[in-house]
Structures are given as C-alpha cells and as structure tokens.
Amino acid sequence: MKYRLFLAVVVFVLVPFLIVFRVSGTPTAPAPAPTPAVETSSSTSLRSLAQKRGFSIGAGVELAPLQNDPNYGSVLAREFNLLVPENAFKFDDLHPKRDRYDFRKLDRFFAFAKANNMLVRGSPLVWHYALPSWLNEGNFTRDELLAIMREHIQTLVSRYRGQVFAWDVVNEALNRDGSLKDTIWLRQIGPEYIDLAYRWTHEADPQARLFYSDYQNEELGRKADAMYTMVKGLLQRGVPIHGVGFQSHRGLKNPPDLESHAKNIKRFGELGVEVQFTELDIKIAEGTGSKEERLAAQARTYGDLLQVCLRAQNCSAFITWGFTDRYTWISGTTGELDAPLIFDKSYQPKPAYNTIKEVLNSGV
C-alpha cells in the first residue's frame, strides 16, 4: 500500500515536469496564421515622408481585398495619402443599366478614404473601354448619346462633389500615331465630345482638378506631341483642364528615357499644366539576370522616375497601380505571373519600396 502511494506521488510530481520540459525544450512548427503586414513606423512611412514635402503618394485600390483582407487596408492607410479605385468608377461597373447606377462599392471605398484622411482621385469618366452592353448595342442618335454622356458624368461627379480632388475626365483617346481613336464617342458625337466632357465635369464640381490620362505618352514622340497639342488647344478654347496623367505601365525590357520624361513634363509646366504618374507598375518577368538582380533594376527604375517627378515643380503625384504583388491587374487581366509592385505577396517591402523611401527622404 505504501509502495503504491509512493509511486502515485512520484508520477504526480514528475509527469508535469517532464511535459513542461518537453514543450519548452523541443522546437515545434508554428500554427498557420494570416500573413502579417510588415511592421513599419508611421513616422517613416512613404505617406509621412511625402506629406512633409507636400507631395501625393498614391495607389490604385481593388475593392474586394479592401473589404476582405485586413492587411490590405492597414498597409494602404499607413503608406499612402491618395487612393484611386482601379475599377469601381468604370462605366459598366457603375452604370450597368441605362436607368440604374450602383454606388454601393464606391460608397464603402469613400468611407474608408474619409476615415483615413486620404485624397481620392477619380478615373475614368469617358473611356471607350469597359462600357455596358446597353450602351455599345443601343444604336443611339448623336443627341441621345450626348445626353447619356452628360448624365453619366454629372451624376457621378455631383454625387462625390468635394470628395474627389481630381478626375481623369477623358481616358486614352489617342492612338500611338497621335490620331484620335475610333471610339463610340468619336464616331457618333465627333471630336467635340472631349471639350464637352471637360465642361460638363467642371459644371458638376468647379473645384475638382481635371486631367487627361493615357499610356505611352511619357516620353517625347508622336503620341506625346499630340497630347500636348490637344491640351494646348483645350486651354486656348477656354476648356477647363488642369493636368495630364502618365499611366506608365512599364517593364525592365525598355528602361525609361529620363531626359525625355523631364522635357515632356517641363513643356506641360510651361502651359501651366500639372503632370502626375497615375498607374505606375514595372514588370520584371521580361528582364534578365537573377530575381534579385531584376528586383534591384525595378527599384532603380521606380527611384529614377520619382526623382524626375520631384525635380519638376508641376509634377504633383506618384501613383502605383496597386501596391502589393498579391493583387495586381497584370495577373488578373493577362494571366502573366509577375511582381510589378513595391510590396510582395506577403505585404513585405521590396527593394523598390526602400528606394522610393530613400528618394522621398533625400534632398531631391
């Protein structure tokens, strides 16, 4: 009896000790957890550095992860002071029926921007792409199409009047050779649709900055020249336009001509017109070298373009089209696997992020 009592006491004392020793002395695999966002002090974020310079640093935003991925919104709010919905302003998403608009997703987006004291940029109002079938297949007369365009512009701009500081009013109206694209707006209204779009936007919100946005317009050439001529003509006719957007979807295969960028920005400044980099991303898949070498080349390009912008008094914003490789239009639209943005898929900063931070923190 005494022996059994002694044995029970030994077991009672030693077993917990052995369990604790086993748990504390043997490494174990961590339990699966949500991908953590990188820890960065708000005082050293891109946002804080840009704001010290009176400069806008922005990102395109997808609304699904903004609603469903907490890390997405957390990094956005910390690192950027300007947001652009990537798709929610597009005609087919917003105006799916002639007599119906759907503002639900946009209203949630604006609530996020307001809660985090962030500027909002609207894009696009008039574009030939992403149009609903009711519009493309409607066989409308010129007067009917004019009425549709005016109602769409003024409904949207009036609803968010005072909440959108700048609009891309007309988007991608030029071909590479500088001619006007053959679009539903040009065919059925004529080239004056461009003037009217700016005038109607200004009527709906006289305080908003109005931009023209396009791609492959960053460097001197036929398309950039045509854009310059178009903007100069708008100004001469008294049409309200305040800026142009360089979309700047790039890849490592064709590095930017920085001198040409600078000259192009300068001539718009001489017209009194702002320039903003509005949809910047830099693909690395087509580059050469190891992944580390391609990421370094990507970082240099981001940094070089930001320096060109900061050196120009009329370049007022630097906006990437997305910010994390976890959500990028390139894989979603083209199916290509790439890493074009400044945070990786786990929200960790890439060399491009660090280079942008260095440039913002420099005396440029």
- Predicted confidence band of residue 335 (pLDDT cuts 50, 70, 90): low
∠ CA 304-309-314, nearest 5°, is 165
∠ CA 321-77-279, nearest 5°, is 10
Helix 142-159 vs helix 192-204: angle between axes, to the nearest 10 degrees?
30
**Backbone φ and ψ of 133, nearest 5°:** -65, -35
**41-336+345-360, CATH topology level:** TIM Barrel (3.20.20)
| 52-106 tens-digit pLDDT | 999 999 999 999 999 999 999 999 999 999 999 999 999 999 999 999 999 999 9
Q: Give the active site residue among 79, 172, 218, 274.
A: 172
| 186-199 tens-digit pLDDT | 999 999 999 999 99
Domain ranges of the chain: 41-336+345-360
The label of the residue with tokens 């997405």 reads: 72
> What is the C-alpha to C-alpha distance for residues 149 and 247, in angstroms, rounded to an integer?
24
Q: Give the active site residue among 62, 79, 86, 279.
A: 279
Residue 240 CB contacts under 8 Å (≥ 6 apart), including other chains: 198, 199, 201, 202, 210
Give the sign of the dihedral formed by CA 72, CA 53, CA 157, CA 135.
Answer: negative
**Backbone φ and ψ of 180, nearest 5°:** -75, 135
Q: Of residues 167 and 335, which shows the higher confidence score?
A: 167
At 330 the pLDDT is 85
| 189-234 tens-digit pLDDT | 999 999 999 999 999 999 999 999 999 999 999 999 999 999 999 9
At 19 the pLDDT is 37
Looking at residue 125, its amino acid is: L
| 283-309 tens-digit pLDDT | 999 899 999 999 999 999 999 999 999
At 14 the pLDDT is 44
In the chain, % of residues over pLDDT 70: 87
> What is the C-alpha to C-alpha distance for residues 152 and 148, in angstroms, rounded to an integer?
6
Q: Of residues 359 and 330, which shows the higher confidence score?
A: 359
**Backbone φ and ψ of 244, nearest 5°:** -130, 150
> What is the C-alpha to C-alpha distance for residues 123 and 138, in angstroms, rounded to an integer?
24
Residue 279 annotated as catalytic: yes
At 27 the pLDDT is 36
Fill in the DSSP letter of residue 172: S
Rg of the chain (C-alpha set) = 26
- Longest CA pairwise span in the chain (Å): 109
CB 268 within 8 A of CB 231: yes
| 222-276 tens-digit pLDDT | 999 999 999 999 999 999 999 999 999 999 999 999 999 999 999 999 999 999 9
For the residues 150-156, what does the mean pLDDT come to?
A: 98
CB-based burial of residue 2 (10 Å sphere; 0-12 exposed, 13-18 middle, 19+ buried)? exposed
